[in-house]
Structure 1
C-alpha cells in the first residue's frame, strides 16, 4: 500500500470495488435487488430509504435518482428518504427515542408491496434494526446494505448486500456503485416494459 494517503485511499477503494465485481454471490444479490425494485415500482409501490450519517446522504441520493431520473427521460417513480423530514425526526426522537425515528415513519408510510432500503455500514444501528423489524411485521419487503461486520442483519432482510470490506468509506463507495447499477437496471427494465405495452 502506498505511503501517500490519497493514493492509498484510491487503492483501497479500487480493491473493494474489484472484490465486489468479482463476487458471483454479490452480483447475484444485486440482480435480485434490481428485480425486486423493478417489480415493486411496476406494481405502483414505493421505496422507503433509511440510513444514518453518510448512509443518510446515500439514501437521499438514491431516492432522488428514482423520483427524478437516473440516465433516461421517463416518468418519476415513488421513493422517499425517511432521513429528510426534520419535524418528523425530531418529534419522534423526542417522544419515542432516537431508536424509533425510522420505525415510526415506516409504520405510518409503508404498505405491503413497498420496499424498505436500510443502509448501515456497521449493521448494528438500533434505529435501522428497529425499522427493519417494523417493516417485516407489516409484510414490507426489506433490503439491507452493510459491510462485512453487518452479517447479523441477514435475518431481518429479504436481500442483504454485504460490501466486501469493513472500511466505512469504502463500504459506502461500494454501496453507491451497487445502487447506481440497480438504478440503471431498473430504469432500463421499466422503460422497456412501458414500450412493450
Structure 2
C-alpha cells in the first residue's frame, strides 16, 4: 500500500516564505552595508548555537572564500568555531560568556556582529549583542518570531514569522544566501582592480 506524501513541512515553508519576502529590502541593506564596511577593513563576526552555529559558519565561509564568482577574501570569523576558546571560556566564566568574551577580544568599532537564533532567546547571544554594542560593533540578528530578547538587543533584526524552528532555520539559510548575493552585487558596482577583482569605495587598486 502506497502511503500519501506528507507535505506539511513544505506547506509550512511556503507559507513562511510569503511573509519573508517583506524582509528582502533589509537583507539588501545588510549586504550593501557589509560590503562597504568590510571593503574599508572592518570584519564580520558571527555566532549561533547548534544548527544556527552551522549557518553562521556557512556565512563566514562564503565571505572568506566566495559565494559564486571570484573576488577578494574578506575578514569574517565564526566565533563558535574556535572550540578551545569556547570551551575554556565556558569552563572559566560560564556558557553565557562564550561569545561576549570573544567579541571583546576581536570586535572593533565599525565591525559587524551577526547572531542567529531560531528562538531569539539564547542568553549567550544576547550577552554578546550587549557587549558588541558597548564597543561600537553593529549587531544584526536573524531570529524566529518577534518579539524576542535578541531582536531587542540588536541594532536591527530579521524575525522570521514561523511556528516551527526548522522552518525558521531554513529561511535563515535563504537570508544568508541573499545576503551574500547582495554583498557581491555591491562589490561588483565598484571599478575593477588590476587583478580583475572589484574594488569597493575606499580601496585602492594594487
Task: Report whether the alignment pairs 1:85 with 2:82.
Answer: yes
DSSP 3-state at the match of 2:15: helix
Task: Report whether the alignment pairs 1:10 with 2:7.
Answer: no
2:47 corresponds to which residue? Answer: 50
* Whole-angstrom distance in 2 between the partners of 1:41 and 1:35: 10
What is the 5 A alignment of 1:6-155? 7-21=7-21, 23=22, 26-155=23-152
What do the CA deviations read for 1:72-105 (whole angstroms, capped 9, x no partner)? 1111111110011110011000000000000000
DSSP 3-state at the match of 2:140: strand
* Whole-angstrom distance in 1 between the partners of 2:56 and 2:37: 18
TM-score scaled to structure 1, two decimals?
A: 0.91
TM-score scaled to structure 2, two decimals?
A: 0.87
* Whole-angstrom distance in 2 between the partners of 1:100 and 1:175: 24
* Whole-angstrom distance in 1 between the partners of 2:126 and 2:27: 21
**Paired residues of 2:125 and 2:150 also in contact (CA < 8 A):** no
Hey, which of these two has a bigger chunk of helix by percent? Answer: 1
**Paired residues of 2:46 and 2:56 also in contact (CA < 8 A):** yes
Residue 192 of structure 1: how far off its partner (Å): 2.7
Residues paired across the two proteins, number: 191
**Paired residues of 1:149 and 1:166 also in contact (CA < 8 A):** no
Unaligned runs of 5+ in 2: 193-197, 200-206
Query: Cα–Cα, structure 1 residues 91 and 168, in superposed 2: closer, same or farther, change >3 Å?
Result: same
Q: After the TM superposition, which parts of structure 1 deviate over 6 Å for at least 4 consecutive aligned residues?
A: none
Unaligned runs of 5+ in 1: none
DSSP 3-state at the match of 1:143: strand
DSSP 3-state at the match of 1:148: coil
